[in-house]
Amino acid sequence: MSNSAAAERPTVTWQQLLADAVSDPADLLQRLGLPAALLPAARRAAALFPLRVPLPYLARMWPNDPDDPLLRQVLPLDAECNRHTGYSTDPLAESAVQPVPGLLKKYHGRALLIATGACAVHCRYCFRRHFPYADAHTGGSRLGPALAAIAADPSIGEVILSGGDPLTLSDRRLAELARHLADIDHVHTLRIHSRLPVVLPQRVDGELLAWLRRLPLRTVLVLHSNHPAELDDAVRAALAALAAAGVTLLNQAVLLRGVNDDADTLAALSTALHAAGALPYYLHLLDRVQGAAHFDVPQSRGEALIAGLRGRLPGYLVPRLVRETPGADSKTVIT
């Protein structure tokens, strides 16, 4: 193909990539060359929690390998249909900490806004896989009461945008929301929790970077990467652009059986994150949500892994092992 023809090829937007995400288990299996015998179970589990995986993320998976660590995070399995004692649909009791719909107030000095229920990828271990987004989000007319509640509480210095994934929203909506928050005198920091820069790095475009640069608030983006294979060249470029825009980059991972429950993988993840400009922040023990018990790793195993990382990495690359306990005044750091 000539250079001129290549130059005329239209760029696929992140919105189109988001719309084109794989949602049919049969399509996922076919694209990866996986056996059709996996399909009945995948359909049963996807009926409880739909499949969704963007093509740029799928492209990083090894074909013909049902144990690929990226695939394991998104492939619906029969194990999700089993009920387990000690697992619930609201493992963090978030329904009890909403002063107004979509505003969560769990910890002093911070408030969390459920900006949307939409995600680019449906992680099978998601602690909000049963969350009632239709009744508990801050979209549309519900934003006003949430902003009023934040403005009325001078203890809130940091607002966290979560979901769903807030970066599935348009830059116009996000910039407008950020302006409202910046107008509240006691709010000084905006924190965004997002998996999009990892699973759909095309989301980090000029428009996103422009409003982030203009924002008068300190801005922190907490990524969610669980495995070093997630960090390809496109992700590294996206993170470099965010850092150049003045955004502080942190990562929180979840300790997942069959994905990252070994010291080599966790050490490689921390090293790759640092090379890409993000610091490891938390390594979460699994939130015990119904449908995700097969991912659980015992706390004792997590402690041993962190001890191993301390022996091979500088301290700033060792994430804090944490568990979130409903009603606690902070995350529980496990030492």
**Average pLDDT, consecutive stretches of 10 residues, N- to C-terminus, the chain (335 residues):** 52 95 98 97 97 98 97 98 95 91 93 95 96 85 93 97 96 96 98 98 98 97 98 98 98 98 98 98 97 97 97 97 90 91
CB 35 within 8 A of CB 12: no
d(CA 125, CA 113): 21
Residues 6+ apart with CB under 8 A from 63: 32, 33
Residue 249: which of 197, 174, 285, 202 has the closest Cα?
Answer: 197
CB atoms within 10 A of CB 315: 7
For helices 233-244 and 206-214, give the axis angle rounded to 10 degrees: 30
Domain end marker among 34, 55, 81: 81
Instruction: Please say which residue of 21, 56, 81 terminates a domain.
Output: 81
The reply to whether 300 falls in a domain is: yes
CATH number for 142: 3.20.20.70
The answer on 56 and 194 residing in a single domain is: no
Helix segments in 276-327, DSSP class H: 299-310
pLDDT value, residue 105: 94
Q: Could you tell me if 218 and 192 lie in one domain? A: yes
| Residues counted in the chain | 335
Domain boundary among 81, 111, 141: 81
Q: Are both 139 and 256 inside the same structural domain?
A: yes
Written as six digits, the tokens of 306 are 């962190």
Number of domains in the chain: 2
| Residue 187 and residue 307 in one domain | yes
Strand order in the sheet with 320-323: 103-104, 110-114, 158-162, 189-193, 218-223, 248-254, 279-284, 320-323, 332-333
- Is residue 87 in some structural domain? no
pTM: 0.94
Residue 108's φ and ψ, nearest 5 degrees, are -60, 135
Using an 8 Å Cβ cutoff, are 255 and 223 in contact?
no
Cis ω for the linkage preceding 308 (within 30 of 0): no
Range of the domain at 21: 9-81
Helices (H), the chain: 3-8, 14-19, 25-32, 39-48, 55-58, 69-72, 143-151, 171-182, 196-199, 206-214, 233-244, 263-275, 299-310
Question: How much is the pLDDT for 115?
Answer: 93
